[in-house]
Amino acid sequence: MFKYKPGEGGIARATAFWSLAGFAFLAGHRFFLWSQRWNFFERDLLGFEIPVLAFPLTPGFLGALAIFAVAAWGTLRLVNAPKFADLLIDTELEMKKVTWPSFDEARKASMIVIACVIILSSFLLLSDFGLENFFFKVLYGGSADGR
């Protein structure tokens, strides 16, 4: 599948390819849904359904298939381009050097982040209410709830 440096960066290159191929599929699917609005794209070209897909062959389906095929081909060319492939190969090599946290370390760090978010959200909530009441008293001479 990868012609440029075939044994290197396989995981990163495959991940990049399949991610971009997924976007290509979504582009083709979006075109197909858009084409359903127009009568020209709904004509059945064969007169019967495609046997495996149980779906009629329409110009909208062919257009979506062509968009997907061209985008997938372009994606394959991209991951085999020397600059992009070298970037992905280097990325995979750097990811192998990373020291990943254990489950316990990740859980503890997540709890700290959640606690910080709760504390900061509470501070912002109290500051907002306090400043709102302060400015309503200064500007209007009353309270924020209209009394």
Q: Where are the domains of the chain?
A: 10-97, 99-147
56: left (phi over 0), alpha (psi -120 to 50) or beta: beta
In angstroms, the Cα distances linking 10 to 2, 29, 41, 78, 86 are 8, 28, 39, 14, 11
**Which two three-digit tokens encode residue 18?**
């399949």
Structure tokens at 16: 């990049």
pLDDT at 146: 58
Q: What is the DSSP letter of 100?
A: P
At 101-115, the pLDDT tens digits run 999 999 999 999 999
Contact status, residue 4 vs residue 85, Cβ threshold 8 Å: yes
Angle at 120 between CA 119 and CA 124, to 5 degrees: 120
At residue 114, the pLDDT reads 98
pLDDT at position 145, please? Answer: 63
pLDDT at 139: 83
Q: Does the pLDDT at position 147 exceed 60? A: no
Q: What is the pLDDT of residue 73?
A: 95
Q: pTM score, two decimals? A: 0.63
